[in-house]
Structure 1
């Protein structure tokens, strides 16, 4: 066994769906799975044992132990061959998961939470972890099309290269087609070189599209050699990034986006595009930080 997948659980239905997705990821990667619950109440000095007037099996600690045990059993039912461990860690959920990401190759969370992850509405967990965590974050929204492709948003920036690496690896692990989507509009496409002094910008839509197709091809260069078994489909879309990715996610099993970008993907993690994906994508969304591990600013 090599590697570790971490999943945050809180007793919610969304958290349990994340456990199933995390177990599948661990199975594909031949990695271990760690089920983690952030136990906030001890830090707030709340009584953890049963109430004097309640049943002896009551109390917050018993409740937490039960929900973690249920999550572990669910993981084992999904991927019986995966080695599953668990941890109940005292602390605030985002801090706990950030610390867990130090030794993980992937952190998986549900799109909504309760209990130990109270207040983690869709987007906030992913935004925090992808900004401060040390590994990719998989946010489980809808189930996605099991036989669909892996979809990756490409903008041609150096920061987006990590997302492309992750998407190719995932497509290879899943035995799925990879759809590399690049969207452009006249305002985010680079201006062409002048044709002559009288008509400095006479490039038509066909020339602009050809330039965007070259950008996409260059961003994917070398990946096919590293992943020869992955079938790749290039999609260049003239239109808005959010709309293009949301529509394409309808038939995808996974959407991969980079933590930072430029052009059509400007501010992709902390800005409006990522929020739209986390709220409206029709499949799980993986957010991958760029090179260098630097913290990214918000948009």
Structure 2
């Protein structure tokens, strides 16, 4: 996959943590790191240059340049040897980063930026890019420099196939183990659409062990082909009976990265970002990379 790794910065602690992660991702891929700050000059109602009444380096333009300089310096400290460039993009952050995602191999953002309501767990930029980005989007959250395996959520859906392929490639590149986790329940919708629209599968099949065997086959089929392509990757399949969202969030505690599809087989077809993806973006204990399938 070609193109730079792009990280959005706004001066917030979350964005600076994303710079650290993005620098390491760029170095790992042998890619250029592109640090982007989006800004709407007219909306600020201030001249971009230095005010005659203020200090000589107090203008908005100077502040933005300092921010980018600090971010690039931080990137080079986090990943010595990384090739880093920076740019100020006109427009809102979500629009600028979505445009960058058309040519990037990875977009990296913090879990929330300097705008919005402080009580929100996840910023609007991260949510929008996860749903609309044209390349994989990594939302940096959890502990700094996480270690452990790559974790991929498997649900057997066509939308999840790209996430599985991407997770294998990530595990191979990082030299890490891959945990392929499939959570299941005795409800036909795996608990994602609510009991009013569910069917108790045990009533239809009559045997929990048989149902578990079906789920194990689903996971094995989802992984088939990828093992042969990546023989160097140690795969640890896990079939867990339980609700999908809490099971994935708990598993993320020991992972260095979680990979999920933007939406799986549950929920409403019109939604670009499924409930499981939203839940892990809000609560996972490690960075989360979201992949969309299709346009």
The TM-score with structure 2 as length reference comes to 0.88
Please report how far the alpha carbon of residue 123 of structure 1 lies from its aligned counterpart in structure 2 after TM superposition: 4.8
- Which whole-Å CA distance do the structure 2 matches of 1:2 and 1:146 have between them? 25
CA RMSD of aligned residues (A): 2.6
Please report how far the alpha carbon of residue 147 of structure 1 lies from its aligned counterpart in structure 2 after TM superposition: 3.1
Q: Could you say if the C-alpha distance between residues 205 and 90 of structure 1 is closer, same or farther in structure 2, counting changes exceeding 3 Å? A: same
Q: Could you say if the C-alpha distance between residues 160 and 144 of structure 1 is closer, same or farther in structure 2, counting changes exceeding 3 Å? A: farther
- Which whole-Å CA distance do the structure 1 matches of 2:263 and 2:203 have between them? 32
- Equivalent residue, structure 1, for 2:194: none
Q: Secondary structure at the match of 1:103?
A: coil
CA contact (8 A) 1:144 1:251 kept: no
- Equivalent residue, structure 2, for 1:90: 90
1:220 aligns with 2:223: yes
- Equivalent residue, structure 2, for 1:279: 282
- Equivalent residue, structure 2, for 1:242: 245
- Equivalent residue, structure 2, for 1:112: 112
CA contact (8 A) 2:267 2:274 kept: no
Cα deviations by residue, 1:138-160 (Å, 9 ceiling, x for unpaired) = 00011367331111111111111
- Equivalent residue, structure 2, for 1:157: 157
- Which whole-Å CA distance do the structure 1 matches of 2:46 and 2:203 have between them? 70
- Equivalent residue, structure 1, for 2:261: 258
Please report how far the alpha carbon of residue 266 of structure 1 lies from its aligned counterpart in structure 2 after TM superposition: 8.4
- Which whole-Å CA distance do the structure 2 matches of 1:217 and 1:266 have between them? 26
Cα deviations by residue, 1:261-285 (Å, 9 ceiling, x for unpaired) = 1149988962432232122111111
Please report how far the alpha carbon of residue 76 of structure 1 lies from its aligned counterpart in structure 2 after TM superposition: 1.1
- Equivalent residue, structure 1, for 2:195: none
Aligned length: 283
Please report how far the alpha carbon of residue 129 of structure 1 lies from its aligned counterpart in structure 2 after TM superposition: 1.3
Where does 1:138-177 land on structure 2 (aligned, <5 Å)? 138-143=138-143, 146-177=146-177
Please report how far the alpha carbon of residue 60 of structure 1 lies from its aligned counterpart in structure 2 after TM superposition: 1.0
- Which whole-Å CA distance do the structure 2 matches of 1:269 and 1:74 have between them? 34
Where does 1:1-299 land on structure 2 (aligned, <5 Å)? 2-42=2-42, 45-114=45-114, 118-119=115-116, 122-143=122-143, 146-188=146-188, 201-263=204-266, 270-290=273-293, 292-293=294-295
Q: Secondary structure at the match of 2:204?
A: coil
CA contact (8 A) 2:147 2:256 kept: yes
Q: Secondary structure at the match of 1:102?
A: coil
Structure 1: where are the runs of 5+ without partners?
192-198, 294-299
Please report how far the alpha carbon of residue 17 of structure 1 lies from its aligned counterpart in structure 2 after TM superposition: 0.7
Q: Secondary structure at the match of 1:244?
A: helix
- Which whole-Å CA distance do the structure 2 matches of 1:164 and 1:99 have between them? 25
Cα deviations by residue, 1:77-110 (Å, 9 ceiling, x for unpaired) = 1222221111101111000000000110100000
Q: Could you say if the C-alpha distance between residues 21 and 269 of structure 1 is closer, same or farther in structure 2, counting changes exceeding 3 Å? A: farther
The TM-score with structure 1 as length reference comes to 0.87
Cα deviations by residue, 1:95-136 (Å, 9 ceiling, x for unpaired) = 00000001101000001111xxx2385152233113222101
Q: Could you say if the C-alpha distance between residues 144 and 176 of structure 1 is closer, same or farther in structure 2, counting changes exceeding 3 Å? A: farther
Cα deviations by residue, 1:22-42 (Å, 9 ceiling, x for unpaired) = 111111111111000001234
